[in-house]
Chain A
């Protein structure tokens, strides 16, 4: 049903592993976002891509590396994470330069657990 898909839905990884999260939007949007949602905290914006160009890196540690190969796909590469990085990672997309450009549509998220 959702126009934004994320895989995997659940991921458990060790601190020395390398993994990637994938997001795909089927809405024809031109902006994509990564958010982190920890328990009892507001949504934290991590990265913003407008027209495939990164326009925001919200002081995110370098162990998180985003990649946006085209306007429909967004990846988050993970390397040497810490247990405190365990959270729900949400991807969203929106259509900039449109009347309703502020409306972001979210994927179901990837529940990440770092051991």
Chain B
């Protein structure tokens, strides 16, 4: 099936630093979703992107829908310890319809560690 590749796989940063991660695909996606998963919890939706070139913010988080529709970026500014977790990108697979309607493809996640 279609895959989403996230980079980097893990990050170790100091509190206060900015963070940047991305998600790429060999296929075009019409929607990009970014989730965060805290340890022992389910993923929480952070930002949803629906238009190529779209730039959307949620507090210190900013995500962009790549112009080529094959990538998306998530930036976190002035990181704090509670930013620790796994960040996933996701999107409906290309040609999602019929019985595939509503399905999502997930990346493997970027693990973020923030040192105080």
Our verdict on whether A and B bind, yes or no, reads yes
Give the interface of A toward B (CB within 8 A): 2, 4, 6, 31, 33, 41-43, 45, 48, 50, 55-56, 90, 92, 94, 96, 100-109, 111
Residue count of chain B within 8 Å CB distance of chain A: 25
Task: Count how many pairs of residues, one from A and one from B, have CB atoms less than 8 Å apart in the complex.
Answer: 63
Is the Cβ of B88 less than 8 Å from the Cβ of A43? yes
Q: Nearest CB to that of B108 among chain A residues?
A: A42
Is the Cβ of A55 less than 8 Å from the Cβ of B104? no
In the complex the two chains form, what is the Cα distance from A65 to B41 in whole Å? 23
Residues of A close to B35: CB separation below 8 A: 106
In the complex the two chains form, what is the Cα distance from A109 to B38 in whole Å? 11
Q: Does B42 reach chain A (CB closer than 8 Å)? A: yes
Determine, out of B53-61, B77-85, B95-103, the stretch whose residues face the partner at the interface. Answer: B95-103
Which residue of A41, A101, A106 is within 8 Å of B42 (Cβ)?
A106
Return B47 CB to nearest CB of chain A, in Å. Answer: 10
